[in-house]
Amino acid sequence: MGRIILRLDRMMVERKMSLGELAQRVGISNVNLSKIKNNKVTAVRFSTLAAICEALECTPGDILEYQKEEAGEEN
């Protein structure tokens, strides 16, 4: 099975927005946003995703990427 990769870091660079600024706009802690940014989460609430997209003026497709499983790769 493939997996979802969060590309939040890339979008933050494109929008020239710091972790602290985005965390404040979204209304979550720097620590929790850092976990999302670094793909250290297994789930993200839709309300959080919507707030991130609103703050960054993007769509979920801009920060979520599906990565197929490589042949012979197991989780």
The stretch 18-25 carries a mean pLDDT of 97
Q: Is 69 helix (H, G, I), strand (E, B) or coil?
A: coil
| pLDDT given for residue 61 in this prediction | 96
| pLDDT given for residue 59 in this prediction | 97
Sign, CA dihedral 24-26-29-34, equals negative
Residue 51 in domain: yes
Residue 66 in domain: no
How many independent structural domains does the chain possess?
1
| pLDDT given for residue 38 in this prediction | 94
Distances in Å between the Cα of 57 and the Cα atoms of 30, 50, 52, 63, 64 are 19, 10, 8, 11, 14
Q: Is the pTM of this model over 0.85?
A: yes
- Look up residue 37 and give its two tokens: 């940014």
Instruction: Write down the number of H helices and E strands in the chain.
Output: 5, 2
CATH of the domain at 40: 1.10.260.40
Could you tell me the residue range of the domain that residue 14 belongs to?
3-61
Residue 28 in domain: yes
Tens-place pLDDT, residues 27-58: 999 999 999 999 999 999 999 999 999 999 99
